[in-house]
Amino acid sequence: MLVLLFYLGDTMYTMRCDKVREVAPVVKLKEVPHTPDYFAGLFNYRGTIVPVIDLRHLIQGRPCEMRMSTRIILVDYAREDHTFYIIGLMAERVTETLRKSEDAFVWPGLNMNEAPYLGGMVMEDRDMIQYLDVDRLPQSLQFLPLIENKDYDPEET
């Protein structure tokens, strides 16, 4: 499978590319009061209002650093009613993709109830890379609709 590599601070993460619509530069976001700290804001993506989650703030408790390589990863997901939506995930050093077989990811044996979106680990050279399961992310973000894993078709959006 093709995976996208990115960093949050000095830690490398990866996610599957099959639900990534686009990797966009960071734009000015509309702040929304009374939202969680990890909610970076909203922006207009080709006529669609897209919520943006700061992944570093969600996972590590500190906001993404604004670098030249900080990007918004636009991900397609489907609500339980089969309506398709886009969510933006802000990350640092979003610079490359690579191919990894699904069996290359190993479960670290940790109970991740507070962060069910953090999956297995994969080795690349001498680096351990944490997998971020985009399908499980909305379960942890109370203000987003839940997604459904089956019958996903990003071409219909």
How far from 2 is each of 16, 68, 75, 101, CA to CA, in Å?
A: 6, 24, 15, 8
Residue boundaries of the structural domains of the chain: 2-156
Query: What distance in Å separates the CA atoms of residue 72 and residue 154, rounded to the nearest whole number?
Result: 18
State the 10-residue block means of pLDDT for the chain, 157 residues long: 93 92 95 92 93 94 93 86 87 91 78 76 84 81 51 44
Closest CA to 39 of 31, 49, 28, 27: 31
Return the pLDDT at 124: 77
Residue type, 94: V
What six digits make up the tokens of 57? 């703030």
Q: Percentage of the chain with pLDDT > 90? A: 51
| pLDDT recorded at residue 143 | 58
pLDDT reported for residue 113: 72
> Helix, strand or coil for residue 68?
coil
Q: Are 11 and 30 in contact, with CB atoms under 8 Å apart?
A: no
What pLDDT is attached to residue 154? 45
Partnered with residue 84 across adjacent β-strands are: 78
Ramachandran region, residue 47 (left: φ > 0; alpha: ψ -120 to 50; beta: rest) = left
Identify the CATH homologous superfamily for domain 2-156.
Answer: CheA-289, Domain 4 (2.40.50.180)
- The dihedrals phi and psi of 12, each to the nearest 5 degrees, come to -90, 140
Note the pTM of the prediction, 2 decimals.
0.83
The pLDDT value given to residue 70: 95
